[in-house]
Structure formats: C-alpha cells, structure tokens
Amino acid sequence: MIKVQNLRKVFRVHKKPPGLSASLKSLFRRDWIEKVAVEGADFTVEEGEIVGLIGANGAGKTTLVKMLSGIIHPSAGEARVLGYNPWEKQDAFRRQISLIMGQKAQLWWDLPGADCFQLLREIYQIPQQQFDHQLNRLTQLLNVGEELNIQIRRLSLGERMKMELIAALLHSPRVVYLDEPTIGLDITTQKAVRDFLLSYRKEESPAMILTSHYMEDIERLCERIIIIREGELIYDGSLRKVIEQYAPYKRLTLHLQNQTLDESSKEIFSKMGEKVKIQSDQVSIQVPRTNVTEVAAELLRRFKIHDLSIDEPEISDTIEILMGGKDFRQE
Amino acid sequence: MRYLRLYGQFLKFSFSRSLEYRLDFWFRIIMDCVFYLVEISIFLVLYQHTDLLGGWSLDQTLVFVCGYLVVDAVHMTVFSSNMWWLPIYVNKGDLDYYLVRPVSSLFFLSLRDFAANSFLNLIIAAGLLVWSILRLPGEISAVNLFWYLFLLGNGVVVHYTMQMFFEIPVFWLHTNRGLLNAFFSSTKLGERPDAIYPTWTRRILLTVIPFLLIAAVPARVFFEGPSIELISLSLGVSAIMFLLMVAFWKLALRSYSSASS
C-alpha cells in the first residue's frame, strides 16, 4: 500500500548570527545552509499494518509523513501510496487517505462536530447512508455521542481529539497517518484512543503510520517500528527484535539471604557490571549481554542468594540509545 | 455542482459563526459605510470645481464609483477573510489539512470563509448603485445595463486574481505585508475614471495590472454601449490572469514547506 524508495528532503535554511548588525547585513547578503530532514528513506507498509515511526524531535518523522500525504514535495526519490504519487495530489488519492496531527486542529473551532462532519461528507462525497452508519459507529466506539452538538472550542482536549479522529475516519480511508495523536492527553483518554485505533484497525484494516513520543502508544499499537535519526532510517523491524539486536546489556536482580553488604562486596558488584543499585537486601546491576551467564555464576558462588532474575532492558531505553536522544518519554 | 453544494455549506457555517460575534458584526458594517461615504464625498467635492472628469459627468462618475463599491463589497464578503488568513496559514503550516482534502485547495482557501457580517454592506452598496443609476438623465438601455453588471462580475474576478498575485509570494517570502500594502495602494488606480490616465499608463492599467477592468471599463461600456473591443479585452485579460494565477499557485504549493510540529 505504501512503497518508499530513496526518499530525500532537504530544506534550505537562512543562517543568521545574533545581533542587530547581523540583521542589517542579512538585508543585503544571506548565508544559507542545507538541512537534510529525510535522507534516503526506503520501506514498505502493507494493508492492516501499523508501523511506528520513532525518532527524537527534529529527526524527520513529520516531514516523512507530510511527504507521504502529499503536503510537501521531496527533493529526490520516489513514493507510491495506493499506487499514486502523493505529491501529484490527485483527488482519487486524497479521498483514500487521512492525516491526524495531535498538535493541529482540523475542525472548525466555532462549530459543533456534527456541522463539521456534514462539511466533510460533502468534501469526500460520502453517501448519506454510509455517512450515518460510520458516524454512528465511530461516536459509539469513542463514546462521544452527547458531545456531537457542542461547539468544538467548548470541548475538553480529549473530547476534541476524539472528534478529530472521527473527522479523519468518516470516509473510511485505506491509509491513515497519525502524527502524535495522543500528545497532551490524560492517561485514560490516551488508552481510549489506543483501544479505538486497535478496534478500527481490526475492522477496516487500513495501513497506518504512527509517530509518537509515548512508548505506551508504540508498544500497544505497533508490531513493527522504524527508527529515524537525523533523517536516516536506522532500524526497520519488529519491536521485540530491536532489543535482541541492539540492547547491549541485561539487568540482573539478586535478593540476598540475610546478608549485609560491606564495601568489598560493593566493589565486586561494580567490577561485574554498571549502574549498580543496592536497596537493603536487593541488588540490581546492568551486565553486558555476552557476560550474563558468567557473571550470574560468579555471583551465585560468592554470595548466598535467595532469588536471582535476568531481565531484558526496557524497550524505551534501547530505542533511546538508538535514537541518540533523550526525549523518549515513558508513562 | 459538487462545488456549489460545498459553497452552500461554507455559507451556512459562515453565517452561524458570524452571528456568534455580534459586536464585530455591527462594527464592520459601520466601518464599511464610512468607507462608502468617503469614496462618494471625494467626487462630490471634485465636481464642485469641474463639470467633467475624464469625460464623465457627476452622475456618470457616481455610477462608476458605486459600481466599484459593489465590487469591493462582493470582494469583502466573499474573499477578504480568506485572503487575510492565507499568509498566516502558510507560515504556521495550517495549510496542511487543506492540501490533503479531495477538493481544489485554491477553491477551499479562497472561499471557505464567507464574511456574513459584510453581507449587509453588499446590500447597502447595491442600493447605492441602484440610486446612482436612477439619477442618470435619459433612458437606460437594458443591453447596456446587462453588460455593465456582467463586466462588474468580471471585475470581481480581476480584483480577486490581482490580490492573489500579491498574496502567493508569501510561500517564498514568509511575510507579504509590504506586497499587500502595495496591492491596496495600487487598487486606488482603479477607483478613478480610465480616461484621466495618459495613453501608456492606461494601456498598462488595462492589461499588465488591469485595475481599470474592475469598474472603469464596465462603466464605459454602460455609458457608450457594448464594444466588442472592450468586452473582449476585459474577458481575455481576466481569463489569462486567472490561468496565470492558478499556475503560480501550483508552483507555490511545490515550495510549501509546512511548519515543524
């Protein structure tokens, strides 16, 4: 459904040093720099698949989504969405896609959702019967039947996002781009949105690309992720495999048997691994993946241990390492 | 047909929205009435010192001025809010949602906001035009009147097209306040009878920056009868300008960079 080949986007940005003299100088001569937003993206997305696009702020996720929805033109490369070239902006293409941006509203602020949806019915030429059925189904799934006739600006952020989701899905798109759909929402609404997206995927099987800074969104919705760093796609594969492939360590947690730890014991832990955490009789250390068995055996030999567990690191930690950034939030 | 139905929805929404803000509704009406009064008064004062201006009597000039006011009122009602928002949408990246809809983005962005609170001004301006026509001495030819109103409609298209030429560079410049000020100053050229300009200036104002096609040429056709030359010039230039503007719009969309999320 979505096929991307060597897609590239470069923005030309005016570089201006601070100060009045630099501003005056820029009136006559300007320095421009080229900022690569997306560098050679290659991937495909199949029907019914939800792909998580992950990256730090400014990594190029939104630019990629906007190119695939036809909003901005690429500098090079090709993309086919449902067989169409997105930036040719053909109506037949636009009738089958949808874009939801958590940080931008598409609905008319002063009008109730019901009125906005009527306009969208005209725009997408949805037959009345299909429109009534779809609206009824979506409002029930999102539980916003009573808010339909309230002006958008009088709704809470969560209710507004639910209305945005209805607006985006009324025409049953075959490709859906979700750009941070849960941003700023409370935990209950985030969960409601995720549950809704899963049910929608189950019933309609669209291809979906999701960008989010919330790990919970990615873990619940996506089996496959694409990690983007400074415009380059550095990982494309299963969410689970990212740990096996890239997490360089595991975490060992020991429950000691009535044993007080002296300084020499602490030194032993420090030599065996990193990020040692000691809380009364519980010790946890981060150990290189290749040394886990050896370290566990050595610890069992040296200490009286009541319980020992070996865990994979958090997905978010691994992804954070891959992204090279630190803005990945986890609830 | 589909676009007409869509426009019907725009009208419905715009009316509901405008009535939400009562103070703004009345304020706009008062402001526009003051503008009409000033425009008419200028010529009333000028005619204290002369009998003819560009070959037109006071009665004829009043028809011309009121014709211009009708075009302006239609523009204010149909296009102006949309024109005002366009640079903001471009710079804030709010154009995104308009570009993913299966409908012409130019149609959507030019017409979606109908200034219902200027609609009353349109009625007032139309009333002034009827008043000025009824003041004309002698019989009024129905053919001439038809062509006058038809060409005034064409004048609305020319006015909109010209403003779009000054709006679209915002895709590259990111601010077009200077250009828009230049546009509003230039429109003054169309608020004067065409015959007052020297030959070459008049030619430029009829073709390159065709502000005289907005109201002056329609008035001339009304007073002198339909001239194939003037009618073809009006429709031809307006069609070419419109097509060039659509091409310019498409070129601008290629340069649209949206905004960071």
Interface residue ranges in chain B relative to chain A, Cβ cutoff 8 Å: 2, 5-6, 9-10, 12-13, 16-17, 20, 93-97, 99-103, 105, 253-258, 260-261
Q: What percent of chain B has pLDDT over 90?
A: 56
pLDDT, tens digit, 9 for 90 and up, residues A102-141: 888 888 888 899 999 999 999 999 999 999 999 999 999 8
| Strand-strand pairing, A274-279 and A232-238 | unpaired
Domain assignment of residue B8, given as a range: 2-260
pLDDT value for B22: 66
- A284 within 8 A of A262, measured Cβ to Cβ: no
Q: Give the model confidence (pLDDT) of B220-236 as tens digits.
A: 999 999 999 999 999 99
Instruction: Write the DSSP assignment of A71-136 as a string of letters.
Output: SS--SEEEEEETTB-GGG--HHHHTTEEEEETTS--S-TTSBHHHHHHHHHHHHT--HHHHHHHHH
pLDDT in tens, A224-243: 999 998 888 988 998 878 77
List CB contacts (< 8 A) between B101 and chain A: 94, 123
pTM, two decimal places: 0.83
A133: which residues sit within 8 A by CB, 6+ positions away? none
Alpha-carbon distances of A310 from A255, A277, A282, A288, A316, rounded to whole Å: 12, 15, 14, 12, 18
Q: State residue A28's pLDDT score.
A: 75
Cβ of A58 within 8 Å of Cβ of B260? The answer is yes
For the stretch B62-89, pLDDT in tens is 999 999 999 999 999 999 989 999 999 9
Minimum Cα–Cα distance from B258: chain A residue: A72
Note whether B100 contacts A97, CB cutoff 8 Å. Answer: yes
Instruction: Provide the ipTM.
Output: 0.80
Closest residue by Cα to residue B217 from B185, B192, B243, B254: B192
Tens-place pLDDT, residues B41-65: 888 898 888 888 888 999 999 999 9
Tokens of A274: 């990193």
**What type of residue is A10?**
V
Compute φ and ψ for A210, nearest 5 degrees. Answer: -120, 130
For residue A92, list chain B residues with Cβ-Cβ distance below 8 A. Answer: 102
Residues from chain A that touch B22, judged by Cβ atoms under 8 A, are none
Query: Most A CBs within 10 Å: which of B82, B101, B105, as the mutation test of the A interface?
Result: B101
Determine, for residues A94 and B101 on separate chains, whether the beta-carbon distance falls below 8 Å: yes
Helix axis angle, A157-169 relative to A128-142, nearest 10°?
A: 150
Place of tokens 């891959």: A322
In the predicted structure, residue A329 carries a pLDDT above the cut 50 = no
CA A173 to chain centre: 20
Strand partners, A286: A251, A274
Please indicate whether, in this complex, the C-beta atoms of A122 and B96 are within 8 angstroms of each other. Answer: no
Within 8 A of A103 by CB-CB distance, chain B residues are 261
Count CB pairs under 8 A between chains A and B. 75
Q: What is the pLDDT of residue B118?
A: 79
Task: Using the predicted structure, report yes or no on whether residue B238 has a pLDDT greater than 90.
Answer: yes
Rg (Cα) of chain A, in Å, rounded?
25
Number of structural domains in chain B: 1
Given a contact cutoff of 8 angstroms between Cβ atoms, the answer to whether B218 and B146 are in contact is no
Tokens 């601070």 correspond to A18
Q: Which residue of A has its CA nearest to B12?
A: A115
* Residue A232: burial class (beta carbons within 10 Å; 0-12, 13-18, 19+): middle
Indicate yes or no: CB of B100 within 8 angstroms of CB of A110.
no
Does residue B261 register a pLDDT over 60? no
A62 contacts B261? CB cut-off 8 A? yes
pLDDT of A324: 64
Evaluate if residue A269 carries a pLDDT over 90.
no
Structure tokens at A216: 């919970």
Q: For A136, which DSSP code?
A: H
Q: pLDDT by residue (tens digit) across A274-320? A: 777 888 778 888 888 888 888 888 888 888 888 888 887 777 677 77
Check CB contact under 8 Å for B94 and A123.
no
Q: Is beta strand A232-238 parallel, antiparallel or unpaired with respect to A76-81?
A: unpaired
- pLDDT, tens only, B172-194: 888 878 888 999 999 999 988 88
Is the distance from CB of B102 to CB of B69 less than 8 angstroms? Answer: no
The reply to whether residue A71 touches residue B100, judged by beta carbons under 8 angstroms, is yes
A62–B16: do the CB atoms touch at under 8 Å? no
How far apart, in whole angstroms, are the C-alpha atoms of residue B99 and residue B198? 45
